[in-house]
Structure 1
Amino acid sequence: MFSFLTEQTSDAGFRNRFHRRSLEHQRPLSTVTMAFTVVAFIAFASARSLAAGSAVPLAWRLACAAGLALLVVAIPRAKSTWIFGSIGVAYTLVLLAGIALTVAGLDEPLLWALPAIVVIPVCAAPLWLTPAHFGIGTALFYAAGTPFLLGLPHPRGDADAVCWMWVLIAVPTAAVFHFGFYGFRRHHFLLEERLARLAATDPLTGLQNRRAFLEQAALRLSKLGRGSKTSAIFLDIDYFKSLNDQFGHGVGDQALADVARVLKDVTSSGDIVSRIGGEEFALLHDAGLRAAAQLAETLREAIGRIARPDGQLSASFGVAEYRPGESVMALLDRADEALLRAKYSGRNRVCAERATFVDSVRPTWDDQRADDAPLHPLRQQWDDFWLTSHFQPLYSLSHQKQVGFEALLRGEREDGEQVPPAVLFSPKPFTDQGELDRVSHALHVRNARRLITDGAWVFLNILPATFVAEGYPDQLATIARAAGLEPERVVLELLESHGGSVDELSRAASEYRNHGFLIAVDDFGAGHSNLDRLLRIRPDLVKLDGELIRAKSAGADQPILPKLVSLLHQAGMLVVVEGVETTEQLILAVESNVDFAQGYLLGRPSASVTPPDAVHRRIDHAFDVIAQGRAHQHAMFESEVGPYRQALDAGVDAWLKGMPLNDAFYDLAQLELCISCFVLDDTGRQIGHEVPGKASAIDGASLHPVANPRDARWDHRPYFRNAVLRPGVPITSSPYLSLASGRPCIAVTVALQSGEGRCVVGAELDWSLQRLPWPTAEHW
């Protein structure tokens, strides 16, 4: 029945755990049993008063009962198994003494004493916690009971028989009871431990599971003494999903087991190690932040030596130190936040928790110079290299001049060699991750004050975590003013990065604006950027991701930049386009009504500020190209649409004279781009059937539930509204995406008065061919 409980129980702590657990179980049973025995003894002693013969005074017998009662009271207070065993030994000896006092003076004392001294060891046997207690207690009981029993009057020659009867009946029975009950308790304890271990253990890795980890961590923190330090380490296996997806769950399970083995090998016995779930592990290490981060770095290197089918495993780590009074969940949340930063910073690295306050920046540069010394850029010591400032210009396209410079951080060694960005921006595990951000701001504003003298803006990149840091708006304003740069000249460019909720960012933006800073959001259209984020933060400028200038609509291959710029302008935000690298992209930015542009075509990042004359000419040339191209584009558009207007006029005349719709618009329907001809009433609903055109046969992305135009109302469309405003004049719309065909189309329409009232007659033209010109504004 208990065959599954045959696991190894020879560990040093097993016997102690079992006996202490037995003590908890036996204490109430022993208390009840021994209290009942006290009552039985009192009845036994009281019955002696009814028998003949001189008796020991009752007070002595009651004193024994009182002693037994005191021993019963002591049982719940027994804190160790040996104290509990000693109480049992004392109890049996006092009980034996009480029996001796009770039977003294009886004519046949053996008749009274023998049943009692046989029953006592038998009933006491299950109550002994350990075989040692049983052996010692039973031996002492028989050592004291044998002289007593032999000293009682008994028939001649029967002494040996009485003793042997006593021993042969009581000892085997007591041994069977004790070891049987002991074995049952042991099996029960093994089962209990096994179930507890299964409930607390992750079956795949053999580590604790999340529930057990939280319980033990909470217990550890509750017992932490003053001045003691404990830190939590979270780790997550990098790209684990790809491991399962590409090579199967068996390979993924093996990776988890290998990582668990590394954790067991590298950590100490005092560390609490757990698999939290999935590919996430956690451990509690009795040390401060620096030592815990060093342990995490050791673990990271060890995991990096584990092979996976396509290379080596890697893991990201987050470390946080326990703060007095906080809960285990608060500690783990901070470690988890550091883990997220490690993952978003490129994975396979250790990140420590952020500081609870913003440290003041401690510059290492020498700002002293003679009045006649030339201005030179400052630089800041960082690790084994120097931080420097490079500035890239931003141009107002309308003003055709430099209006700002984005400060970019660079690293260089003493020999002038550039430090790779992966090294420069690599998180330092033992410092606040925002320190580099803050140091760069102090460096940039001082260099900007030296190099940028025409009142232009200075764009400072800032991480969301730094942006929302408590007290940093005041500190940054102080830094800027100390450098001689008013906050009104500083644009804080909020980087696309993890950290800080939208509510926190919005609150912080208000604090920066109170100092005069302007706010920009970087890389809109990538990562976490979305329209809701913009509307909540309300930046003064939006910097569009460089890919958006190259993005085009599906099918028509037309840029989407003009519409996006129009949308942001309507939301009250100025627009900066980054990544302008070609003349064609500059022309598109000008044509799209972009406010500011930045890119290698307009100026590369440099430690010095270069004259902008050549760029001015380049921007002016873009305006000239657009001005010349606009007239040409309009002429091309008109030449394409002209035949359709003429055919529409002829069709309308024929239809008004009573010719059937199909015949009236036959010539128009046969033109290459015509999809359909239609008539709408004054509410925008289609009258009768539509006349299919030649382009209707082209296979398009028909949206079947909305493909029938007769189900719809079209008076909200510009081609309907504009025609009604100018009755009798053919109107040509800008290109739009047709619901019926799923293709870019334009509409040629005219409003007129017929026998059935006012109506709008028109034709929908397929405008998806790349050779077709797109107008820069709506045409009438």
Structure 2
Amino acid sequence: MAFTVVAFLCLVGARNMVNGPATPLAYRLSCALVLALLVMAIPRAGSIWTFGAIGVAYTLVLVAGLALNVSGVEQPLLWVLPAMVVIPICAAPLWLTPTHFFLGSALFYAAAFALLFGEPRTHEVDVVVWMWVVAIGLPTSAVFHFGFYRFRRNHFLLESQLAQLAATDPLTGLQNRRAFVKQAERRLETMAPDLQVSAIFLDIDSFKSLNDRFGHAVGDHALHQVARVLMDGTSADDSVSRIGGEEFAVLLCDGLAGALALAERLRGAIAAIERPDGQLTASFGVAEHRRGESIMVLLDRADEALLRAKHSGRNRVCAERALPLEALHMLFDAAHEEGDTAARRYRWEDYYLTSHFQPLYSLSHQKQVGFEALLRGEQDDGTLVPPVVLFAPRPSSDEGALDRASHAVHLANARKSLPCDAWLFLNILPATFIAEGYADRLATLVRTAGLEPEQVILEILESHGGSVDDMSRAAALYREHGFLIAVDDFGAGQSNLDRLLRIRPDLVKLDGELIRATSHGTEQPILPKLVSLLHQAGMLVVVEGVETTEELILAVESNVDFAQGYLLGRPAAEIAPPEPVQRRIDDAFDVIAQGRAHQYALFESEVEPYRVALRQAADGLLAGVVMGEAFASLATFDRCISCFILDDSGRQIGLEVPGPAWNSEGASLHPVANPRDARWDHRPYFRNAVLLPGVAVASNPYLSLASGRPCVAVTLAVQFASERSVVGVELDWSAVGLPWPAGD
């Protein structure tokens, strides 16, 4: 046909060489342009009838073009007759069916003869014309057409058969995976914007045992029966496929609710199929298409739901898990329909996810400043799901799926329950925390819930997953949105100072066991020193697990910033009034204020005899008494480890005078057991004595490098004739029950 266009253009050129009136060239070239457009439309023909219609139109336009071209010549028949013979012969192989051939030929000759009826001709000319048309043109074109038609028909039938075999599963007669995916891709590309499409993924339960125990023939029969159930249970518009093995897929034009209902009907129908050892069952996963995603992503989400159905007991239907933002909107919609009186719950597995909140109190302000959101599972009747079930590892699912869903649930409930000026503490797994793009998604989630990131503290859980470098980089991204960062359970698991200093959290939550931890031997709490260390590192401190009044008093005395625990409030769906807890914290402050003076008096009464004896020893030294005699009385006191004299640079002068608490062995600290090798002017007991010359000062308890025991030093700066010296006595303070300075 393309060559015919070229031949027509040649005929137009030849006509321009003949004298006489002619149809304007633009009209004849327009015919050539239309012919060329029809040729280009042929590859886009979607059906045989479209192809035939293009052929008929092409022939008629060609006839019209010939008529315009021969207009004005003296003998038009000489120009047209060759075309009337050659064109049907050349076009005959192009007609796809006999109907096209007969219709196109009849229209061609009718149009051609109509143009020639007005021209005068002799009898001899008519005979020649009909001889060429009837004897040569029509028979030759008929032979050409039916010869090529037979060849093309067999070829097309073979192609159709091969295409059908390539797209069909031979066992069940359903589409195979390749054909299913290809058809689904076309449907998703051309679907209307408001059209809903869902995928159902199903897998026959325990199919391998069916083959292994009863043979593949029984297994093949089961596959065939399942295929029949799927075909009978779906409409002609649905795509049904055997994806592979015992897996099937259905693509239907319906939303998630409709797809779940269909899947449940199919599950029931399959469960009615008998197998030699009982009834056949299948597990189903259902997912709804999201705008812009491919068929493979849709099938992957349906497959994830199918795996959950498998791992939660088989013979059931599981829906896809909504994204956090979608889950949040679902919770808001449910709350709008049911009212804001009840906690918002989100369906998960065979139960619901909901939130309980535990308050955190600022000890200095004596008020609630935040609430930690804790995930809970509820059955349909409201009974709680045991934590071992709720947080049990599931090898078939993404570890962070529950974590991300919890954020949507907590934010939906926080908007309803929490005071507007309180922090919300959200637990987050390290793997979720460092996930690419989650900082942006969580910020959107928070704002959708009506909160601001500045109101949310992300509490990084102590668990495996994520390097410290990755968490440090992620923390910077969250801070750009305004989130505060906390590290949970410091003092347990993998927590260490390096982790804190790299992540630089705003708050550190101390593991509850640290509030009960004590130093070896003296049983003194280590919490005060730990809080002081974290404060120096620029981090606020939260103590968890406060369960008794004594622990609350210790937290206040240790300068802890925030406290949390059963004594201050248990996790609950509803926020408890804070007034009773505020009074309890205030009482703790009163106890500390009353006990501080008493504690100080006990400590002072314990060290006062040593002060008196040390002043007497200093007076003897000033009077010229030798060191051993001067310290003789002091060295008899029970807690005395040794008496000593330090020069102005802090180095020991002479030998120390041992007391009853002296331990000469000190095997484990033997390399540093000799105090005469060291310089001690950096110690507080030396500096304080120099600052208050003539005053006997007692140090706070410290760990002695020489003895390895908690000690207290009583020291006195004395000015001898030649130089200033510090005389002192080191006391063993390791016995349980000895008073320590309050607040240390």
In structure 2, what is the equivalent of residue 386 of structure 1?
352
Q: Shift in Å at residue 370 of structure 1?
A: 6.4
How many residue pairs get aligned? The number is: 435
In structure 1, what is the equivalent of residue 539 of structure 2?
573
In the superposition, relative to structure 1, how do residues 554 and 699 fare at CA in structure 2: closer, same or farther (>3 Å)?
A: farther
**Unpaired segments ≥5 residues, structure 1:** 1-224, 228-264, 267-286, 292-356
Amino acid at match of 1:392: Q
Structure 2 counterpart of 1:498, from 464, 469, 488: 464
Q: Does 1:630 align with 2:563?
A: no
In structure 1, what is the equivalent of residue 733 of structure 2?
767
Output one character per residue of 1:591-640: Cα deviation in whole Å (capped at 9) or x when no partner: 00000000000000000001011101100000000000000000000100
Amino acid at match of 1:487: P
Judge conservation of contact 2:635–2:657 (CA < 8 Å) in 1.
Answer: yes
1:140-289 to structure 2, matched below 5 A, reads none
Alpha-carbon separation, structure 2, partners of 1:358 and 1:684: 68
1:634-713 to structure 2, matched below 5 A, reads 634-697=600-663, 703-713=669-679
Judge conservation of contact 2:641–2:660 (CA < 8 Å) in 1.
Answer: yes
2:633 match: secondary structure: helix
Alpha-carbon separation, structure 1, partners of 2:646 and 2:740: 26
Alpha-carbon separation, structure 1, partners of 2:518 and 2:463: 26
In the superposition, relative to structure 1, how do residues 634 and 464 fare at CA in structure 2: closer, same or farther (>3 Å)?
A: same
Alpha-carbon separation, structure 2, partners of 1:366 and 1:623: 43
1:763 match: secondary structure: strand
**Unpaired segments ≥5 residues, structure 2:** 1-176, 180-211, 214-242, 248-321
Alpha-carbon separation, structure 1, partners of 2:678 and 2:663: 22
In structure 1, what is the equivalent of residue 368 of structure 2?
402
Q: Shift in Å at residue 698 of structure 1?
A: 9.0
Identity among equivalent positions (%) equals: 69
In structure 1, what is the equivalent of residue 447 of structure 2?
481
1:81-160 to structure 2, matched below 5 A, reads none
In the superposition, relative to structure 1, how do residues 505 and 598 fare at CA in structure 2: closer, same or farther (>3 Å)?
A: same
Amino acid at match of 1:530: N
1:386 match: secondary structure: strand
In structure 1, what is the equivalent of residue 50 of structure 2?
none
1:430 match: secondary structure: coil
In the superposition, relative to structure 1, how do residues 389 and 664 fare at CA in structure 2: closer, same or farther (>3 Å)?
A: same
2:331 match: secondary structure: coil
Structure 1 counterpart of 2:705, from 739, 751, 757: 739
In structure 1, what is the equivalent of residue 474 of structure 2?
508
Amino acid at match of 2:401: E
Structure 2 counterpart of 1:542, from 493, 508, 512: 508
1:568-607 to structure 2, matched below 5 A, reads 568-607=534-573
In structure 1, what is the equivalent of residue 239 of structure 2?
none
1:339-354 to structure 2, matched below 5 A, reads none
Structure 1 counterpart of 2:718, from 733, 747, 752: 752
In structure 1, what is the equivalent of residue 384 of structure 2?
418
In structure 2, what is the equivalent of residue 236 of structure 1?
none
Alpha-carbon separation, structure 2, partners of 1:369 and 1:403: 26
Alpha-carbon separation, structure 2, partners of 1:529 and 1:499: 13
Judge conservation of contact 1:403–1:457 (CA < 8 Å) in 2.
Answer: yes
Q: Shift in Å at residue 432 of structure 1?
A: 1.9
Judge conservation of contact 1:361–1:438 (CA < 8 Å) in 2.
Answer: no
Q: Shift in Å at residue 751 of structure 1?
A: 1.0
In the superposition, relative to structure 1, how do residues 701 and 733 fare at CA in structure 2: closer, same or farther (>3 Å)?
A: farther
2:559 match: secondary structure: coil
TM-score of the two chains, using structure 1 as the length reference:
0.53
Q: Does 1:455 align with 2:421?
A: yes
Alpha-carbon separation, structure 2, partners of 1:404 and 1:373: 25
Alpha-carbon separation, structure 1, partners of 2:742 and 2:667: 26
Alpha-carbon separation, structure 2, partners of 1:454 and 1:642: 55
Alpha-carbon separation, structure 2, partners of 1:390 and 1:687: 66
Amino acid at match of 1:403: V
Alpha-carbon separation, structure 1, partners of 2:706 and 2:566: 43
Alpha-carbon separation, structure 1, partners of 2:529 and 2:333: 48
Judge conservation of contact 2:357–2:574 (CA < 8 Å) in 1.
Answer: yes
In the superposition, relative to structure 1, how do residues 584 and 737 fare at CA in structure 2: closer, same or farther (>3 Å)?
A: same
In structure 1, what is the equivalent of residue 684 of structure 2?
718
In structure 2, what is the equivalent of residue 362 of structure 1?
327
1:694 match: secondary structure: coil
In the superposition, relative to structure 1, how do residues 689 and 695 fare at CA in structure 2: closer, same or farther (>3 Å)?
A: same
Aligned-residue RMSD, C-alpha: 2.8
Amino acid at match of 2:570: R
Alpha-carbon separation, structure 1, partners of 2:455 and 2:336: 27
Q: Shift in Å at residue 449 of structure 1?
A: 1.1
Alpha-carbon separation, structure 1, partners of 2:690 and 2:743: 19
1:61-100 to structure 2, matched below 5 A, reads none
In structure 2, what is the equivalent of residue 563 of structure 1?
529
In the superposition, relative to structure 1, how do residues 442 and 372 fare at CA in structure 2: closer, same or farther (>3 Å)?
A: closer
Q: Shift in Å at residue 416 of structure 1?
A: 1.9
578-587 or 414-423: bigger deviation: 414-423
In structure 2, what is the equivalent of residue 524 of structure 1?
490
In structure 1, what is the equivalent of residue 253 of structure 2?
none
Alpha-carbon separation, structure 1, partners of 2:576 and 2:689: 53
In the superposition, relative to structure 1, how do residues 706 and 625 fare at CA in structure 2: closer, same or farther (>3 Å)?
A: same
In the superposition, relative to structure 1, how do residues 726 and 684 fare at CA in structure 2: closer, same or farther (>3 Å)?
A: same
Alpha-carbon separation, structure 1, partners of 2:178 and 2:705: 71
Q: Shift in Å at residue 444 of structure 1?
A: 0.5
In structure 2, what is the equivalent of residue 131 of structure 1?
none
In the superposition, relative to structure 1, how do residues 777 and 402 fare at CA in structure 2: closer, same or farther (>3 Å)?
A: closer
In the superposition, relative to structure 1, how do residues 370 and 501 fare at CA in structure 2: closer, same or farther (>3 Å)?
A: closer
TM-score of the two chains, using structure 2 as the length reference:
0.56
In the superposition, relative to structure 1, how do residues 699 and 769 fare at CA in structure 2: closer, same or farther (>3 Å)?
A: farther
Alpha-carbon separation, structure 2, partners of 1:444 and 1:597: 21
In the superposition, relative to structure 1, how do residues 562 and 399 fare at CA in structure 2: closer, same or farther (>3 Å)?
A: same
In structure 2, what is the equivalent of residue 55 of structure 1?
none
Alpha-carbon separation, structure 2, partners of 1:492 and 1:366: 23
In the superposition, relative to structure 1, how do residues 663 and 458 fare at CA in structure 2: closer, same or farther (>3 Å)?
A: same
1:418 match: secondary structure: coil
Alpha-carbon separation, structure 1, partners of 2:618 and 2:743: 26
Alpha-carbon separation, structure 1, partners of 2:413 and 2:611: 62
Output one character per residue of 1:533-576: Cα deviation in whole Å (capped at 9) or x when no partner: 00000000000000100000001110000000000000000000
Amino acid at match of 1:676: S
In the superposition, relative to structure 1, how do residues 358 and 685 fare at CA in structure 2: closer, same or farther (>3 Å)?
A: farther
Amino acid at match of 1:362: A
Q: Shift in Å at residue 226 of structure 1?
A: 11
1:427 match: secondary structure: coil
